[in-house]
Structure 1
Amino acid sequence: MDGLPPETRIGRTALTVSELTEMIDFYRDVVGLTVLNRSETTAVLGVEGSPLLVLEHDPDAFARHRSGAGLFHNAFRVPSRGALGDALARVQERWQLGGASDHGVSEALYLTDPEGNGIEIYRDYPREEWPRSDDGTVRMGTYPLDLEPVTAAAAGESELPAGTDVGHVHLEVSSLASFRDFYVDRIGFETQTTMPAALFVSAGGYHHHLGANTWNHRSGPTEGRGVSWFEVVLPDAAAIEALESRLADGEYAVTEVDDGISVTGPDGIEVRFRVGT
């Protein structure tokens, strides 16, 4: 098996943060996640008992100015326009909306957390409506989003609903060629959309599980605050074994973690793989 199974999805993402309490409050009150577990150094937030975001405290993280690669945004995917409308209402009441776009495959809201990490909250259009190229790959664009119908669909809920997950992770990288070599040629994602200085890849024909861009010309490895690691969930142990075989040349070392394996890819960004339940 040369590629990832179609059931592949994104699991948890982890951020290194300097102000743990402030970040917990933000992701609970503005984004709408629920606090599932908290200690002095770590917090886990999610939806309906499913963990989606891990906050790892490092009091010195904010002092280290970020100049290298890392997170562009975490993207929380909601199951309906009503849930997107509720998210919009929370952001407008308690924070600041950074932008809103219609991508042809989804409706998306954008904002930035208190420590500068990008966030997308979005809902997909039905898959059969996604525009595709002649070769079957998905075509995405960026168009103005009419917020009126999104606002009208809101139901007044203060939390993200069941069915919310991390739909994709978008990274800032130093080289799209290195990103493609690792995530496409080694890991097994398929290229879906290319844009100026950006690349979007997925498994199973999704519009993208991972995005990468060089828009801000990041030149060094990830460090300090921002993405600590993110997780790709595979359907079975055979998929993990096939992945380990593709990584067997040793250029990217594979290590075991509690419930799967970990690989540090280009720009020092750690990606973890586990079998879904």
Structure 2
Amino acid sequence: MLPAQTRVASVTLRARDVGALGALYEDLLGLAREERPGGGAAYGGLVEAVPVSPGEPMPPHAHAPGLFHTALRYPTRAGLAAALRRVTEAGIHLTGASDHGVSEALYLHDPEGNGVELYWDRPADAWPRTADGRVDMYTERLSLESLLREDEPAGDGAPDVGHVHLKVSDLPRAVAFWVGVVGFEEQAAYGDQASFVSAGGYHHHLGLNVWHSRGAAPAPATSAGLDHLTLAVPSGADVEALAERLRAAGAPAELGPGGALRTTDPDGLGLAVLAEPA
């Protein structure tokens, strides 16, 4: 099992135009840009971008396994409201706005077509639950007018990556990997369509769905989209324990410089695991 303190540290995207992503992540959302070797960039240390592999660059593949969205979590409702105002003023089209019971969320796409969620969490003791105590997330319309009326100061609370939602080709196989091997716990399941898993009782650090990708083959290497997500765990011992579970399951487990672990899920989607700084 993953430690309760496990968190999503960042998401790394393969990009056709690294600089173009700055229009959203830097200019609109205020994530400071840092240059990375090889023409890459990091935005706030949360979203990193690397140039897509040589070849004919392709946009993210709509039906292949990959990124459904990266979810940036604001510490307060006022912070989310401030983000909505910036999005509205910039004329960015929202693809959705939902009340999930546990959270309020806005949905959009970045300049390369990657899904992005902006959200804040309600207090955990207010999350709806089923009779057996599991998180009971739902989807209802979020009133943007109500959110825009939020008049508390937004403060300077920067977002973090609250969760990542993946498109997978085979839901039972994905759950077997992310729960049975990586060590998340399933918090909510929606038939053969979607599963939401986490560490420490959070509503979800990872969403898995087959809504558009059931039975699909991996995207070509020249496709933009998800390169890998990075988890942070408390210690190097936690990294090594996960490496042992991966090896026992016959999954890749490569320990690199600084003790970073790299592997892939059954769809070939990348996962890096790092220990938190001492």
Letter in 1 for 2:9: G
Letter in 1 for 2:233: L
Counterpart residue number, 1:210: 206
Range with bigger deviation, 240-249 or 74-83: 240-249
The 5 A counterparts of 1:44-193 are 44-46=42-44, 51-58=45-52, 60=55, 62-63=57-58, 66=61, 67-94=63-90, 95-153=92-150, 161-193=156-188
Q: 1: distance between equivalents of 2:86 and 2:176?
A: 39
Q: 2: distance between equivalents of 1:148 and 1:161?
A: 23
- CA pair 45-258 structure 1, distance change in 2 beyond 3 A: farther
- CA pair 105-27 structure 1, distance change in 2 beyond 3 A: same
Select the residue among 33, 36, 48 that pairs with 1:35: 33
8 Å CA contact 2:11–2:228 kept in 1: the answer is yes
Following TM superposition, by how much is the alpha carbon of 1:79 offset from its aligned partner in structure 2, in angstroms? 0.5
Letter in 1 for 2:262: S
Seq. identity, %: 40
- With the length of structure 1 as denominator, give the TM-score of the two structures: 0.90
Following TM superposition, by how much is the alpha carbon of 1:258 offset from its aligned partner in structure 2, in angstroms? 3.3
Letter in 2 for 1:136: G
Give unmatched runs, 5+ long, in structure 2: none
| Backbone CA RMSD of aligned residues | 2.0
Q: 1: distance between equivalents of 2:70 and 2:10?
A: 10
Q: 1: distance between equivalents of 2:245 and 2:60?
A: 35
- With the length of structure 2 as denominator, give the TM-score of the two structures: 0.90
8 Å CA contact 1:78–1:161 kept in 2: the answer is no
8 Å CA contact 2:181–2:249 kept in 1: the answer is no
Counterpart residue number, 2:264: 264
Letter in 2 for 1:267: D
Q: 2: distance between equivalents of 1:110 and 1:73?
A: 9
Following TM superposition, by how much is the alpha carbon of 1:91 offset from its aligned partner in structure 2, in angstroms? 1.3
Give unmatched runs, 5+ long, in structure 1: none
Following TM superposition, by how much is the alpha carbon of 1:52 offset from its aligned partner in structure 2, in angstroms? 0.6
Q: 2: distance between equivalents of 1:241 and 1:38?
A: 27
Q: 2: distance between equivalents of 1:64 and 1:97?
A: 20
After superposition, the C-alpha distances for 1:144-178 in whole angstroms (9 at most, x for unaligned) are: 11222321226797xx9434210000000001011
Match of 1:212, SS?
strand
Match of 1:162, SS?
coil
Q: 1: distance between equivalents of 2:149 and 2:31?
A: 22
- CA pair 65-53 structure 1, distance change in 2 beyond 3 A: closer
Q: 2: distance between equivalents of 1:68 and 1:136?
A: 34
